[in-house]
Structure 1
Amino acid sequence: MSSTRQSVQISQETFDGVVKENMEDFGMDLQEALQDAIHTFRLQGADLKGIITDGSRGDNGTNPLVEVIKEVEHASTDIRGITLEHTSKVLEKLYCLCKEGGIDSISVAGRHGGVEASMSAFTALNNSESVVNLILKILSLLVEDAENKDKFKRAGGARMLMDILTRANKGHDNIRLSCGLVSAAATGDEIAMEQFMDLNAAQEFSKLLKESTNDESLVILICNAFKALVTSDDNRVVASKAFTNARTFAERGMVEALLLASTQLQCSSSAVASLCMALKSLAVNEAICKSISEQRGIDFVLQALTECIKIERKPLAKSACSLLSQLGGSDENKESIISQGGLERLINIMSNFSDDPSVLQEAFTVITVLSLRSAQNSLKAVQAGTLDLVAEAMECHTSAASMQRQACFLLRNLAVRSPESRLAILEKGLEPLIRQAKRTHPSCKDAASGALRDLGFDDYNS
């Protein structure tokens, strides 16, 4: 049985020693010595990530990035002997070096203690808002690297951020930077997600959102942080607690907070799309969907659908439809959506954004959900004009596999319980379009076969 070869970990000192040996023993110049060392270590399967390989350590063994990290470490341990102004300059230099150097410099900074030095600086100097601001900017860059992200987690990054969020004054940049860093730290990391939840993130973010409903940019940042804490996206774990986290957020007032924000913001604002996606992430069970509906959540999303047509915002249309699909999973909500003019709004969305298959796909999904197990709703959807728009979309966007697949699902749901709808589908000539989708896109095979079967064709599997 074969095994995956593991990368060999080497230190900066080991790499520098080989370079020095190449120069002293074999008479190579610096660039030759560097290239030979890089080649040799790569043949050995060594991991050179974070190793300084460009010769910038110089004759005295120093590198500007490594040296500034040492200065940050020194400032953290000698807070009486070093002025706040000097510390700020050192942190600013570290930030600029990481930002200008890109991912390579970020990896080097992590390998040489940048995360730990920044965390130590926070512990020693967290009474200065400007210093904390710089530290958060530095850490936001450093966690772009996966190894640095793990170091931040192990060094107590979650507690640091929750401390800032609970004590900082509303509107300060530290709040915004902390929300962004929560998103980065929790994305794709189940353990980090659990750390934040154990530190009462559900209650704190719900409270923060309620206090920030008139601040569009902060609302977006809070929504992004919330979604990172309720999304199962770490493929290293067998079972995620994301579903449980969403329920905890609902219990701590996030439904109220999101819908309160929805009443304060203009429906044309970019924050509305974030609110829609956050509500979708929160609506993980029947009880929460019902709670959203009871607090006028359906009114909010239907109004968003109306507004996105006026301002021609496709991202908002997709987000609003996506939320409506989630809420429509509740049979009680289905009736509310339809009785409040939901089908008419969806028809308008499909008509106005007929050039974009991704928007059409989301609208098709909503009608698919609304017509599930309901012959009455299927017939209402047909009578509203759904079939003409589906036919047009399938004819115009033949290469849009995902949209074609969703169109087949929609037609199947319309046909399966409603003879009237079945007849209308056939009269509109949709059968050839379903068969074309099946022939063209392997991903459409099952959905198209199901639609043909429920339309009454015996050769649905051929």
Structure 2
Amino acid sequence: MAQAWPKAKPKLTQEAFDEAVSSNIEDFDMSREEAIKSAIEEFNVQGYDLSGVVTNMAGNDLQSHPIALACQGLRDACGGQGSLPEALEALSTSLQASTSESSGGGSGGVGGGSMSQEASVIAHKGGAMQSLLEACRQLQSQTDQLLKALKLLQVLLGWLETRDAFASDATGVDLLHDLLRAEASTPEVRTAAAAVAEAAARQVEEAKCRLVDSGLVATLLEQLQAPEAPLEYVGAACGVVRSVTTADDERPPASKAFMHARVLAKSHAAIRVLLSVLRRVPAATEPATACRVLATVRQVAANEEICREFTDDGGVMACLQVLKECAAQRDVCRACLGALRQLAHSDTVKRLLAEAGAVGEAVRCVELHAGSDDVAEVALGLLGNMMLRQPEICTKAAESGVPEMVVEAMQRHAPRAPVQRQACLVVRIMVARNPELRPLFLERGAEALLRAAKAAHPASCRDVGSAALRDLGLDNYND
């Protein structure tokens, strides 16, 4: 049955909010602060979405706000009335100033890649995104200014409504595609254009589809094949491929993420391109880029056929080699385990990994990062996928210390529902077809840990915990 997402809340307009604040002041003799607080509470109770409202500016003239004035200045400059470089600088300064004030010192300013709600809403209402697209078109021969415009565009796309507007304006995707293909574009410009595309695709299904349908993602994959592609560009391009193959927009009834993965793998050799990139990236010295490549592999390897192609070309062994070399680097370790976890849905990959020592590597990773619940969760997930319907691998896992590791992980990460759920699954998988392994868990106190997981995390662990207790041969497993 398809997932039924919650019905979207109605959007509250700035005008309706301002009117409610004014009414509270005039009719109930409230102070401005009290009136704003009361209006927020009232609209929240009524179920409105206030994300597009500037609450702390209610009753003021937003058109006089420095960001609104900067947006107007940029529109004028794009129309030939003023200097574009000066207008870009003014917009950047106004966004930084507003964000600094709202974040208590600028820790989340424009340079950090995020903005306050106030700054985002005013910039969106002022048409900053559309003006920046026009500025990019006019500045293609001025690399420094073009990069500044693209950086501002990427920051503005942190706001969902701006991303929706970008997706609805096909000229934005066309502009990015032109910048990627232009012979005059520098590697820095291509990297910035890819970063904008990735930002636009986050949680917006329409943008994902436009990026794939326009051929932009295919262009990225073609350019990734160049041995001289800079690492910054590799990371940005992989980010786009990963975004369009990730179903993270809850609003449409369905996502094309799986179809995108199939099309990109079949028609544009995506999984082979990613393998060639993975082999080029020095994971030990460039962990951030390696993590992005591995995360993209995880998303593109969406079915058995793609997993088999990646495996036949040596991809599984390449991932495992990175894991062995960089297990001590937490982020790379987690990314490798995540990619292998996805690939291990294939029966062929399960056996290959077991023969290559992946079980022992997973246990070692958990030991190396004993305090990291996310490493424990993904390592347990990998082991569960490897051992599912594979009794011989379950036996090898028992000999490699998996029962001890599972019990220790449950004890160490008792508050973490994802870890507890994966641990429950691993216990069940190991003993379901190998009853001789039951004592290895029972003698270490697994029963009490499983019951505790069910009690502490009923939504995540009640079903899998009961199944594990049942397959351990215990009575009252539903209690």
TM-score in terms of structure 1 length: 0.84
Which residue of 367, 370, 394 corresponds with 2:383?
A: 367
CA contact (8 A) 1:73 1:117 kept: yes
Deviates more, 1:155-164 or 1:68-77: 68-77
CA offset at residue 214 of structure 1?
Answer: 5.6
Deviations 1:19-44 (A, max 9, x none): xxx9xxx9xxxxx9x88997999799
CA offset at residue 440 of structure 1?
Answer: 3.5
Label 1:226 to 1:212 Cα distance change in 2 as closer, same or farther (>3 A). farther
Label 1:419 to 1:164 Cα distance change in 2 as closer, same or farther (>3 A). same
CA offset at residue 121 of structure 1?
Answer: 2.4
Deviates more, 1:37-46 or 1:102-111: 37-46
Label 1:49 to 1:246 Cα distance change in 2 as closer, same or farther (>3 A). same
Label 1:125 to 1:331 Cα distance change in 2 as closer, same or farther (>3 A). same
Q: Are 1:199 and 2:214 counterparts?
A: yes
Q: Are 1:242 and 2:244 counterparts?
A: no
CA offset at residue 289 of structure 1?
Answer: 0.3
Q: Are 1:290 and 2:302 counterparts?
A: no
1:186 is aligned to: 201
For 1:144 and 1:136, how far apart are their aligned partners in 2?
13
Q: Are 1:403 and 2:458 counterparts?
A: no
Which residue of 446, 456, 467 corresponds with 1:450?
A: 467
Q: Are 1:276 and 2:294 counterparts?
A: yes
CA contact (8 A) 1:214 1:264 kept: no
Deviates more, 1:239-248 or 1:111-120: 111-120
Q: Unaligned regions of 5+ residues in structure 1, if any?
A: 27-31
CA contact (8 A) 1:213 1:260 kept: no
CA contact (8 A) 2:163 2:204 kept: no
Aligned residues: 437
For 1:5 and 1:406, how far apart are their aligned partners in 2?
37
Label 1:424 to 1:6 Cα distance change in 2 as closer, same or farther (>3 A). closer
Equivalent positions of 1:92-107 (< 5 A) are 92-102=89-99, 103=116, 104-107=118-121
For 2:151 and 2:128, how far apart are their aligned partners in 1?
13
For 1:52 and 1:418, how far apart are their aligned partners in 2?
62
Label 1:422 to 1:41 Cα distance change in 2 as closer, same or farther (>3 A). closer
CA contact (8 A) 2:166 2:207 kept: no
Equivalent positions of 1:319-330 (< 5 A) are 319-330=335-346
Label 1:179 to 1:11 Cα distance change in 2 as closer, same or farther (>3 A). farther
2:168 is aligned to: 154
Which residue of 349, 362, 366 corresponds with 1:346?
A: 362
1:7 is aligned to: 12
For 2:404 and 2:65, how far apart are their aligned partners in 1?
67
For 1:72 and 1:431, how far apart are their aligned partners in 2?
66
Q: Are 1:77 and 2:74 counterparts?
A: no
1:29 is aligned to: none
CA offset at residue 140 of structure 1?
Answer: 1.7
For 1:71 and 1:406, how far apart are their aligned partners in 2?
55
CA offset at residue 330 of structure 1?
Answer: 0.6
Q: Unaligned regions of 5+ residues in structure 2, if any?
A: 1-7, 100-115
Label 1:219 to 1:454 Cα distance change in 2 as closer, same or farther (>3 A). same
Secondary structure of 1:176's counterpart equals helix
TM-score in terms of structure 2 length: 0.82
For 2:244 and 2:345, how far apart are their aligned partners in 1?
23
Deviations 1:176-227 (A, max 9, x none): 2212211111111111111111111331121122226663332222222211
Equivalent positions of 1:70-149 (< 5 A) are 70-78=72-80, 86-102=83-99, 103=116, 104-149=118-163
Q: Percent identity?
A: 25
For 1:316 and 1:50, how far apart are their aligned partners in 2?
40
Label 1:133 to 1:459 Cα distance change in 2 as closer, same or farther (>3 A). same
For 1:36 and 1:407, how far apart are their aligned partners in 2?
50
For 1:160 and 1:296, how far apart are their aligned partners in 2?
37
CA contact (8 A) 1:272 1:304 kept: no
Label 1:437 to 1:211 Cα distance change in 2 as closer, same or farther (>3 A). same
Label 1:275 to 1:406 Cα distance change in 2 as closer, same or farther (>3 A). same
2:233 is aligned to: 218
CA offset at residue 350 of structure 1?
Answer: 2.4
Supply the AA of the counterpart residue of 1:185.
A
Q: Are 1:303 and 2:321 counterparts?
A: yes
CA contact (8 A) 1:129 1:174 kept: yes
Deviations 1:56-91 (A, max 9, x none): 979xx855433433332233233xx86xxx321221
| Higher-Rg member (1/2) | 1
Deviates more, 1:352-361 or 1:426-435: 426-435
CA offset at residue 410 of structure 1?
Answer: 0.4
Label 1:300 to 1:39 Cα distance change in 2 as closer, same or farther (>3 A). closer
For 2:141 and 2:468, how far apart are their aligned partners in 1?
64
What RMSD over aligned residues (CA atoms) do the two structures have, in Å? 3.3
Q: Are 1:233 and 2:248 counterparts?
A: yes
